[in-house]
């Protein structure tokens, strides 16, 4: 009886969210977690995913190198290799994300929960840093993130800032926006500067019109959030930029993560801080 009770108690006390990156990936791999990855494995870096045929990979890698703020590369595979050992033990990119988007000529061909039937030997995997890491650092500093308060998706905007082109890849910078009081905005610059591999410092603040945003209440992606009178909008380079740039090229074949269903890595957010 005592043993049974203890077992039940342990089971009830056991956290429902896996505490590490590898545990999260294993949960996802066996089909036990199908939704968004936000909140999974708190403290571990998550990444955007882009998988391209080898013939496009070199130009895309160069595009990322030229545009590190929207496209901070945190991992690249060899052609045909589904592993990214620098980002995770036993990581298999074909099975470790909850859902994918398979694209043909710029349109969605499939939204599978694994890539086993889509995998090809010429595919190159790109993992790109995402804002979850710096958002965690902001929250830990006591800064309110409005889209968290509103329980919605961060608002994102196409800007008139052009990325630096490479091969066929070119297009406008996409930014995410978080409204803040000025003192929090200054603190947010300091905090996010520490994380260059997850978009780093803001690219703009105040004056949305200066970067071509005509109506701050109508984002191009995500949801609008209220901006109070004593707040300014603060803009970060956004991981939607590389996706938007890839889609403009309409590759005959490519794969991305499904929105919100990111790659969970074994690297801790704090490891990505440069100081």
- Scanning residues 153 to 182, which ones bind a second copy (CB under 8 A)? 181-182
49: nearest Cα among 200, 201, 254: 254
Q: Is 69 helix (H, G, I), strand (E, B) or coil?
A: coil
CB of 220 to a second copy, least distance (A): 20
CB of 231 to a second copy, least distance (A): 9
- Is residue 233 within 8 A of residue 227, CB to CB? The reply is yes
Residues in Cβ contact with 173 at an 8 Å cutoff, skipping those fewer than 6 apart = 67, 69, 70, 159, 161, 162, 163, 203, 237, 238, 241
49: nearest Cα among 88, 19, 1, 7: 88
107 DSSP β-pair partners: 104
CB of 182 to a second copy, least distance (A): 5
Select 170 or 181, whichever has its Cβ closest to a second copy. Answer: 181
What Rg, from alpha-carbon coordinates, does the chain have? 19
Select 153 or 193, whichever has its Cβ closest to a second copy. Answer: 193
CB of 62 to a second copy, least distance (A): 24
CB of 47 to a second copy, least distance (A): 24
Q: Does 73 bind a second copy (CB under 8 A)?
A: no
Binding track, positions 115-134, relative to a second copy; x by CB under 8 A: --------------------
Give the interface size with a second copy as a residue count (CB under 8 A): 19
Q: Does 230 bind a second copy (CB under 8 A)?
A: yes
- Scanning residues 181 to 210, which ones bind a second copy (CB under 8 A)? 181-183, 185-186, 189-190, 193, 201-207, 210
DSSP 131-159: THHHHHHHHHTT---HHHHTTSPPPEEEE
Q: Where along the sequence are the contacts to a second copy (CB under 8 A)?
A: 181-183, 185-186, 189-190, 193, 201-207, 210, 230, 232, 275
């Amino acid at each position: 009886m005592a043993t049974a009770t203890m077992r039940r108690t342990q089971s009830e006390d056991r956290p429902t969210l896996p505490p590490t990156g590898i545990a999260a990936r294993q949960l996802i791999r066996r089909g036990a977690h199908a939704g968004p990855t936000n909140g999974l494995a708190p403290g571990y870096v998550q990444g955007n995913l882009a998988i391209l045929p080898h013939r496009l990979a070199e130009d895309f890698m160069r595009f990322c190198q030229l545009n590190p703020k929207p496209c901070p590369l945190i991992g690249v595979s060899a052609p045909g290799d589904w592993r990214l050992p620098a980002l995770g033990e036993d990581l298999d990119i074909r099975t470790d994300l909850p859902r994918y988007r398979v694209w043909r000529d710029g349109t969605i061909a499939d939204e599978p929960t694994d890539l086993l039937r889509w995998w090809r030997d010429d595919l190159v995997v790109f993992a790109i840093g995402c804002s979850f890491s710096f958002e965690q650092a902001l929250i830990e500093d006591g800064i309110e993130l409005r889209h968290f308060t509103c329980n919605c998706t961060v608002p994102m905007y196409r800007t008139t800032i052009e990325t630096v082109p490479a091969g066929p890849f070119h297009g406008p910078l996409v930014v995410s926006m978080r409204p803040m009081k000025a003192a929090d905005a200054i603190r947010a610059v300091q905090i996010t500067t520490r994380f260059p591999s997850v978009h780093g410092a803001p690219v703009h603040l105040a004056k949305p019109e200066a970067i071509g945003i005509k109506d701050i209440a109508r984002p191009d992606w995500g949801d609008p959030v209220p901006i109070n009178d004593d707040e300014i909008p603060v803009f970060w380079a956004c991981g939607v930029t590389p996706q938007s740039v890839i889609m403009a090229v309409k590759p005959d074949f490519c794969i991305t993560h499904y929105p919100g269903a990111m790659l969970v890595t074994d690297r801790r957010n704090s490891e990505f801080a440069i100081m």
